[in-house]
Structure 1
Amino acid sequence: MGSLAWGVSFSALISPQKDRCRPFSINHHHLLRYRRFMWNTSATNRHSTFVCSAQQVVGIRRYPPHSGDEGSSAPSNILEEIVWNKGSEVAQMKENMHLESVKEALPHALPPRDFIGALKVRAAETGLPALIAEVKKASPSRGIIQPNFDPVKIAQAYAKGGAACLSVLTDSKYFQGSFENLQAIRHTGIQCPLLCKEFIVDEYQLYYARLKGADAVLLIASVLPDQDITLMLSICKSLGMAALVEVHSTEELDRILGIKGVKLIGINNRDLETFTVDIRNTEKLLQGVRGGIICDRDIIVVGESGLFTPEDVAFVQRAGVGAVLVGESIVKQNDPAAGIAGLFGKDISRKPE
């Protein structure tokens, strides 16, 4: 995935803070200098938190190139391949159920629940990052993760084990998920709010996810330009859903911090080019002024990928995350609730009232 060249070193203009949430953690003098510099720089260099060129920052091509276009005709990584497939998949979904029909059915859907509120409550109860536990059968990199896959039973075990919210994979081709799984879990009466873990490329998917019971959706910064994210945040708000905006790099995080209305940011520790995972990516992205802005705006950061042990969770908590999204390390366990206890190093299950 291509990266953006900065006109000036962003890190040179910020003051790293060990305690990011202290009052006045942002060096406002340096921040003002940075804003002024980026505003006065030529248009080709305006790629900061405050002035960004979305088309140049977005690393994933939304559609396969036409014959004769520059660039490879093959997808550059698995995410790009998924996105290309998703375009035709959504077109078929629209044929099966038109957008107007989806909207007409929305009043009959189960009402949305407070996804962000659930994270805050659970984190306050445990003193640990709130868990978004993922209902996941397979992945392109790992193949089948849980051969005895029963989405409802897994979801129930997660809820019992102390998860604040659940993430449900709905992509069928690459992750063997489905919207039917999402709907089935919602209709069991599980109290945990649900994140629809889908590769969103079209606003249609937002309405469809809400119809199937989603309380939140995933928006990926490397896939969606700023104007699309802005529009989709507005749609989510109108539907009563939260949006988890996922970033992989400082460039993507700077873009997202320049968009109003972002309340949840996911930091994915997986490199899209190599698929290697390094949880130090979370620490890197939250250092300095970026972490200060996040604290000042009361944005919840969700750590994603590479979290397997209590030490991993403690590391990203120190870096500043308020929640973690974990799938593989717990879904592959025969007892997912025990897997949650192993992940956090103690029992965080809800006690009967």
Structure 2
Amino acid sequence: MNILDKIIEAKKLEITHQKELVDIEVLKDIPDFYRDSNSLCASLLKEGSSGIIAEFKQRSPSKGDINLSARVEKVTEAYRKAGAAGLSVLTEKHFFGGSQSNLVIAREHNPDIPILRKDFMIDPYQMVEAKAYGADVILLIAACLSKNQALELAQAAKELGLEVLMEIHNAEELDIVNDFVDIVGVNNRNLKTFEVSVETSVELGKLIPEKFIKISESGLAGPDEIKYLRSHGFKGFLIGETFMKTENPGKACKKFIQKLK
């Protein structure tokens, strides 16, 4: 069983527990469930947009602990003020140290910027959670979904007014992308070897239909890489570890964005 399989098995148990703990109708009574979503698509396409989707991530299976002392409100506010086009907040707790509460706090402190709920989404219940706790965008990972699952989840998200980011790792996974998807993200990290190459984005980007906004994810360490990917049609760049591994993630994000101008 690889790491992705382990994560999905843990996620199934977690969702079962959450459904027992918080009924879906209770989620629909949370005020943010009725909030109008902020559009990540619009933010990425806006004239002069940095394109940076700055991520709050405290640990990962590949890197271990990254920045356990970071406070989500401080970091996300600094990201926003630095000029990030959007925020990404990890809510997967067992392997990435995330939490639903981090999403809630990020939304409270940043009401007007698009926020991606970064998690392993496998159940429509999670779409309702995402909406209720303040997300504007949800992530679907093609590697852990069937074509029918992806369609069901993307449609459920759109019905709630959420935008859909579909993450792919290879050309075969493009077959899972459907018409309810808004953004296609290319993960530059090989799930089997954990090796990272921005050329993965360049090669797969050529195959992504023009109707989808393209973003690049993982291993983006410098402004030159962003400029290179922009020249290949990418509008968004999901960056977490590059910022989070520093003492001051917000300051690192600000310096990074300034170098893009």
1:57-72 equivalence runs, <5 A: none
User: How many Å apart are 1:304 and its aligned residue?
Assistant: 0.3
User: How many Å apart are 1:333 and its aligned residue?
Assistant: 2.2
Total equivalences in the alignment: 261
- Cα separation, partners in 2 of 1:260 and 1:189, compared to 1, 3 Å: closer
1:173-322 equivalence runs, <5 A: 173-256=94-177, 259-287=178-206, 290-291=207-208, 294-295=209-210, 297=211, 299-322=212-235
- Structure 2 residue 223 is matched with structure 1 residue 346: no
Residue in 1 aligned with 2:54? 133
Specify the SS of the correspondent of 1:167.
Answer: strand
Tell me which amino acid in the other structure corresponds to 1:312: E
- Asked if structure 2 preserves the Cα contact closer than 8 Å seen for 1:156 and 1:190, the reply is no
Specify the SS of the correspondent of 2:6.
Answer: helix
Structure whose CA Rg is larger: 1
Q: Which runs of 5+ in 1 are unaligned?
A: 1-74, 349-353
1:183-236, Cα deviation, whole Å (9 max, x unpaired): 011112442111000111111011011110110110011111111111122111
Matches of 1:234 and 1:86, distance apart in 2: 21
- Cα separation, partners in 2 of 1:111 and 1:344, compared to 1, 3 Å: closer
Specify the SS of the correspondent of 1:275.
Answer: coil
- Asked if structure 1 preserves the Cα contact closer than 8 Å seen for 2:33 and 2:133, the reply is no
Q: Which runs of 5+ in 2 are unaligned?
A: none
User: How many Å apart are 1:342 and its aligned residue?
Assistant: 4.1
Taking structure 1 as the reference length, the TM-score comes to: 0.70
- Cα separation, partners in 2 of 1:87 and 1:311, compared to 1, 3 Å: same
Residue in 2 aligned with 1:69? none
1:135-179, Cα deviation, whole Å (9 max, x unpaired): 111111111111321001000110011101100000111111100
Matches of 2:230 and 2:72, distance apart in 1: 28
- Asked if structure 2 preserves the Cα contact closer than 8 Å seen for 1:308 and 1:343, the reply is no
- Asked if structure 2 preserves the Cα contact closer than 8 Å seen for 1:134 and 1:326, the reply is yes
- Asked if structure 2 preserves the Cα contact closer than 8 Å seen for 1:309 and 1:342, the reply is no
Residue in 1 aligned with 2:244? 331
Taking structure 2 as the reference length, the TM-score comes to: 0.93
**Aligned-residue RMSD, C-alpha:** 1.8
1:118 pairs, out of 33, 40, 43, with 43
Residue in 1 aligned with 2:10? 85
- Asked if structure 1 preserves the Cα contact closer than 8 Å seen for 2:117 and 2:139, the reply is yes
Specify the SS of the correspondent of 1:219.
Answer: strand
- Cα separation, partners in 2 of 1:272 and 1:189, compared to 1, 3 Å: closer
Residue in 2 aligned with 1:164? 85
User: How many Å apart are 1:341 and its aligned residue?
Assistant: 4.1
Matches of 1:213 and 1:345, distance apart in 2: 28
1:296-346, Cα deviation, whole Å (9 max, x unpaired): x2x111100110011221222222211000000012223333322443462
- Cα separation, partners in 2 of 1:190 and 1:158, compared to 1, 3 Å: farther
